[in-house]
Structure 1
Amino acid sequence: MYGDPALPPDFVSLPYVNPIAPKGGEVVFGNTGGFDTLNPFAQKGTPPWQMRFWGYESLMGRSADEPFTLYGLLAESIEVPEDRSWVEFTLRPEARFSDGSPVTVADVIWSYKTLGTDGHVRYRRLWGQIASISQTGERSLRITFNEENRELALIAGMRPILKKDQWASADFASSGLKQAPIGSGPYVVAEFEPGRFIQFARNDAYWGKDLPLRRGTNNFDEIRLDFYGDQTVLLEAFKAGEISAIREFNAAKWDKAYDFPAIASGAVRKTLIPNGKPSGMTGIAMNTRRAPMDDWRVREALIRAFNFEYINETMTGGTQPRISSYFSNSYLAMQPGPATGKTRVLLTPFEADLLPGVMDGYDLPQSDGSERNRRNLRAATKLLAEAGWTVQDGLMRNAKGEPLELQVLLTPGNLGEGEMRSVVEIYARALERLGISLSSDVVDSAQFVERQQGFDYDMTFFRRAMSLSPGNEQYLYWGSAAAQQPGSRNLIGIEDPAVDAMIDTMLVSTSKADFIAAARALDRLLTAGRYVIPVWQYAEGRIAHDKNLRFPGRLPISGDGINYMPEVWWYQAD
């Protein structure tokens, strides 16, 4: 995205892989909930979420050791002009789908159009940014963009490429469990049973196994996903040896719950994977499409009533620090105090409409750690009164006498079984003191997705991971165009021209300094927007795993993730 790629044109393998890792073995993971489709690219249905990463490829592939650098995958060469107003890709002649047929320019063009019109909403924005897409040679095509956006040339290289002929007489948007899209990736669906498991097998004839980008990766012969009703049962299955590895997100649980016999014997190991990524945002999001969440004073009051210090001590033993902003723990994070320099210049045109704290600085409230949290509750009461909410007959009511009653939409998998629900229960007791009713609305994973896609909630569990190169996905997360679009990832409902402008600026910046200034401005707008009640950070990954699962000693800057485990791990018995 900025500067030159870290690896030379003739690189042998990615720096964080073992290029001679042995092939073989099986790895089993656990998911909660279930699945009702094998098409991870359609809007309809709930697929196994990992599926689109294991069986499908794009024209280019990403290095997890750089903020945003792509290398050729299905494409053997890439050409862009200085202004990146278009990009031309030339396909590798050896590129093949899993059925052995060649990947053609027609497949690529069909994939862009189909995903952009009938695919999941995450793919549709790019199609609207394409002015034209056409074949320029036997194995080449050019995509011309209709707006200034320097990231589009990279985003275009990351769209999954599917086989056109498969869908000549089938409905792509409603394929369900009838068939999985044919991809060019290293794994294919071998067998499945809805609600129980899905098995992926490594394609022995995988075309790209010797590419520098692929050497030393995708080492397991089989990957299996078993499905469980909740996280508690899943953990017990891991303890019993039915699952090969599990990720743990709670530091206190990591210290206390992982003391079973297999740990003591050494059959299971605990591994920490640090990362250099921004914190992202995890917590309870407020739906600003609904009153009273459309009033920033109510949102600030709810944030003040959330006694993080007490909750963190109760839930994690106080071991995990709080997320302080959307890009905290990185150079993209908003700086303390008033906005300065280029960041201030970018925000100034919108100053008259900005919420308090954007220009002058905003910090999350802190408590003394006691359960009562009196000082912050008093401040919350004052803010609610300013917004027209006062205590009447022991309940917080508006001018019409309507009580303030809220629900948090959750599913059992949110931060682990029962964990987020316990957070909400502690929070509810605090809000009771203000005369506010708060309850958990816990639904299964399919209902959770459906409710979120329809924006049917007051508040909901929220998680957005961030990279060191935020870009077009920010439109999906907080862009005005996505706010009222069913199925969009703008769960909060943000419609703010200042937010749109900062994302625009990030995507047209030609220098890293300008990009950082815009990212810091965006961070100020989101944090001072009081949209999410943040919980704790995940500065390192925690993986408990079978001792025979190995990983390279060199860790990528992005740390753990779907492109790290299982992609660069391997099986090797003692």
Structure 2
Amino acid sequence: MRPLFFSSIRSAVAGITFLTGASFAAAESAHGIAMYGDPQLSPGFESLPYVNPEAPKGGAVVFGNLGGFDSLNPFTQKGNPPWQMRFWGYESLMGRSYDEPFSLYGLLAESIETPEDRSWVEFTLREEARFSDGTPVTIEDVIWSYETLGTEGNLRYRGFWAKVDSIEQTGPRSLRLTFNVEDRELALIAGLRPILKKSQWDGRDFADAPPNEAPIGTAPYVVSDFELGRSVTFTRNADYWGKDLPLRRGTNNFDEMRLEFFGDQTVLFEAFKAGELSAVREFNAAKWDSDYGFARVQNGDVIKTEIPNQKPSGMTGLVMNTRRAPLDDWRVRQALIEAFNYEFINDTLTGGRLPRITSYFSNSYLSMQPGEATGRVAELLEPFEDALLPGTLEGYALPVSDGSERNRANLRRARALLQDAGWTVGDDGILRDAKGDTMALKVLLQNGNLGEAEMQKAVDIYATALERLGISLTTDLVDSAQYVERQDAYEFDLTFFRRALSLSPGNEQMLYWGSAGADTPGSRNLMGMKSPAAEAMIQHMLTTKSSEEFIAAARALDRVLTAGRYVIPIWQYAKSRIAHEASLRYPMRIPIYGDGIYYMPEVWWNASE
């Protein structure tokens, strides 16, 4: 295990070379780019530092997904594709190193050029870049991909396109994007847009693509077989154009990767125990200790591996829909947080093994500091003081119970908050407002989803606590299609929420928390928050060139989000738990971001080949 990336805030500030290094040379072509300073890997690097460049190729792996899928196109708003598709089947102009907070290196592009202010970015395509059908990637394909995804693609691509003033070809293999806003991250985001084949869609409506047709990409894997809703097989392209690139050496080592879909986590786990799946990720620490003693573990056919990480905790829990009364009142939201007996629930479901998420960037140097806001954090928040919720400036911490099932002290505080918000309990024990309306809340969860299966158990315990306050809490357990549809339409009071956050938060933060998405169907802003303070902190993060300013803005944003009481947090995953066939191996060097789609299966290999 590697030492912690930063052991203290002091060493964090001193050690962030990606923020304080030499500035990016003005308008000079380079092999890579970092959000701040220079990328860590020099020109001519052999491979990513966390891969085995000599890893053998071959073998097949099978993974299990919960739910189903009804589309092979991961780039439109229509349909529900396997989430792995856009990572396994498609590439961008640049590729990321997950051993750095945010650095990119040439993939489809051989070089990148941008001025000091990053008002534009220019890419030069590799002459050898090819689609999976063997045809060359052209500037026309790249420009079409940007325009089409930005106007007809999934909503996650459209925000970037709105910030592009122009896109133009500047040479036989080069193009330039010029931006219409000041935003230093846009040059990097541009490098991560997927590139698709234009001629595949000539005369056809991309947004209304048939569900059984996968867009042609350039990545190492192509879809070779599928049965909608049940399985999809990816085969490694033997003629993959980029196999010798430094960014690709030692990666994408399996000849075949198949996804099997299951309607229930129990059935999926039984399939793994029987040897039908190659690996599973276990998110429940108690089950990791209690359920992995089956025969294939005992005889050594299955290995249990733990992968640590040094990234922010992100936020996992129950998000509250502030578009709906009474959840638009922060006092009601705080009362619901007080009533959530985390210590008892954690002990019951995980044996108390998992620490609680304490803020959106907890577990990292970007997290808000305890107590009152001071220094630059306080200065950044001061213009918004009148609109900030209590605790933002003074300091906010989640309630802690005594661990008993009754949770009396916290429930007393919850009752006081509800009374202050105009809710009282009648002789019948039911909570009502001044109009006589009761508080009946519904939690929207997806049937069969692993994380939400655990959440369902937590909600059952939670409902009993809320009943003591006179509040009714019930669960709507729906299939994946209904789940997506209802979340997109914000038809819920509370629902399962997961936002993974990085060491280099940027434009995606506006998608998560920006007011533009609060009333837009299908946005990532599930809580419906509208906070000028949050948006100002995000904008400061995107435009500053100073490490201290960046950290201060991130910590200030963390305060606004956490004291906003939008989510009832549960436990964090400071390490990944993977049970896998003994023949599957991984490099000993672990990236700072730990496990993820970029790690397992991308840099793993089959030692029996």
Q: TM-score, normalised by structure 2?
A: 0.93
Deviation at 1:177, TM superposition (A): 2.4
Amino acid at match of 1:480: S
1:383 alignment counterpart = 417
Corresponding residue for residue 141 of structure 1: 175
Alignment of 1:158-557 (within 5 A): 158-392=192-426, 393-416=428-451, 418-557=453-592
- How far residue 111 of structure 1 moved from its aligned partner, in angstroms, is 0.6
- Pairwise CA distance, 1:458: 0.4
Q: Deviations over 1:448-475 (max 9, x none)?
A: 1111111110000000001100100001
Task: Report the CA distance between 1:399 and its aligned residue.
Answer: 1.0
- Among 100, 124, 127, the alignment partner of 1:90 is 124
- When structure 1 is superposed on structure 2, of 479-488 and 44-53 the one drifting more is 479-488
Q: 2:264 touches 2:449 (CA, 8 Å); kept in 1?
A: no
Q: 2:94: which partner in 1?
A: 60
Does the 8 A contact of 1:36 with 1:176 survive in 2? no
Counterpart for residue 24 of structure 2: none
The answer as to whether partners of 2:544 and 2:550 remain within 8 angstroms in 1 is yes
Q: Name 2:13's counterpart in structure 1.
A: none
1:537 is paired with a residue of what secondary structure?
coil
Secondary structure, counterpart of 1:83 in structure 2: coil
State the partner residue of 1:36: 70
**CA–CA distance in structure 1, aligned partners of residues 408 and 547 of structure 2:** 44
- Is the Cα contact below 8 Å between 1:133 and 1:142 reproduced in 2? yes
Equivalent residue in structure 2 for 1:114, among 148, 164, 169: 148
Q: Secondary structure at the match of 2:565?
A: coil
* Equivalent position SS for 1:428: helix
The letter of the residue matching 1:185 is A
Secondary structure of the 1:115 match is helix
**Identity over the aligned pairs, expressed in percent?**
71
Are the aligned partners of 2:94 and 2:191 in contact in 1 as well (CA < 8 Å)?
A: yes
Displacement after TM superposition at 1:363 (Å):
0.3
Equivalent position of 2:608 in the other structure: 573
Contact 1:231 1:412 in 2 (8 A): no
SS at match of 2:498: strand
Let me know the Cα RMSD of the aligned residues: 0.9
Instruction: Provide the rounded CA distance (Å) in 1 between the counterparts of 2:452 and 2:289.
Output: 17
Retained in 1: the 8 A contact 2:263–2:448? Answer: no
In 2, Cα distance between equivalents of 1:177 and 1:394: 51
- For the residue of structure 1 that corresponds to 2:171, the secondary structure is coil
Mapped partners of 2:335, 2:462: distance in 1: 13
* Separation of aligned partners in 1, 2:191 and 2:45: 19
Question: How far is the alpha carbon of 1:414 from its aligned partner?
Answer: 4.2
Partner of 2:185: 151
What is the rounded CA distance, in whole Å, between the counterparts of 2:288 and 2:481 in structure 1? Answer: 28
Query: Secondary structure, in 3 states, of the residue corresponding to 1:215?
Result: coil
Q: Secondary structure of the residue that 1:136 maps to in structure 2?
A: strand
Identify which range, 410-419 or 294-303, moves more after superposition: 410-419
Q: 1:93 Cα shift?
A: 0.3
Alpha-carbon distance, 1:174 to partner:
2.0
Aligned to 1:559: 594
Q: Whole-Å Cα distance in 1 between the matches of residues 518 and 140 of structure 2?
A: 34
- Supply the distance in 1 between the matched residues of 2:385 and 2:254 (Cα, whole angstroms): 54
Amino acid paired to 1:97: F
Deviation at 1:412, TM superposition (A): 3.1
Cα distance in 2, alignment partners of residues 76 and 254 from structure 1: 44
Equivalent AA in structure 2 for residue 427 of structure 1: Y
CA distance in 2, matches of 1:129, 1:229: 40
Q: Deviations over 1:120-162 (max 9, x none)?
A: 1110000000000000011000000000000000001000000
Q: Does structure 2 conserve the Cα–Cα contact (< 8 Å) formed by 1:191 and 1:199?
A: yes
Judge conservation of contact 2:67–2:261 (CA < 8 Å) in 1. yes
Question: What is the distance in 2 between the residues matched to 1:201 and 1:171?
Answer: 27
8 Å CA contact 1:273–1:560 kept in 2: the answer is yes
User: 1:31-71 deviations in whole A, cap 9, x for unaligned?
Assistant: 01111111001001100000000010000000010000000
Point out 4+ residue stretches in structure 1 off by more than 6 angstroms.
Answer: none
1:101 equivalenced with 2:135 (yes/no) = yes
Per-residue deviation at 1:181? Answer: 0.3
> Partner letter of residue 554 of structure 1?
R
After superposition, what is the alpha-carbon deviation per residue over 1:332-377, rounded to whole angstroms, capped at 9, x for unaligned?
Answer: 0000011111111110000011100000100000000000000110
Letter in 1 for 2:353: T
Q: Which residue of 2 aligns with 1:51?
A: 85
* Amino acid corresponding to residue 315 of structure 1 in structure 2: L
CA shift in 2, pair 1:544/1:417, >3 Å = farther
Q: Deviation digits for residues 245-295 of structure 1, max 9, x if unmatched?
A: 000001001000111000000000000000000000000000011111110
Conservation of the 8 A alpha-carbon contact between 2:344 and 2:404: yes
Cα distance in 2, alignment partners of residues 317 and 509 from structure 1: 44
Residue type of the partner of 2:338? R
Report the CA distance between 1:170 and its aligned residue. Answer: 2.4
Question: Does structure 1 conserve the Cα–Cα contact (< 8 Å) formed by 2:67 and 2:449?
Answer: no
Deviation at 1:529, TM superposition (A): 0.2
Q: Give secondary structure in 2 for the equivalent of 1:418.
A: helix
Cα contact 2:79–2:211 (8 A) shared by 1: no
Secondary structure of the residue aligned to 1:377 is: helix
Structure 1 CA distance for aligned equivalents of residues 603 and 480 of structure 2: 29
Take 1:461 and 1:522, find their aligned partners in 2: how far apart are those partners? 22
2:166 is aligned with 1:132: yes
Structure 2 residue aligned with 1:27: 61
How far residue 400 of structure 1 moved from its aligned partner, in angstroms, is 1.1
- Indicate if the aligned counterparts of 1:45 and 1:176 stay in contact, CA closer than 8 A: no
Contact 2:445 2:452 in 1 (8 A): no
Between Structure 1 and Structure 2, how many residues are aligned? 574
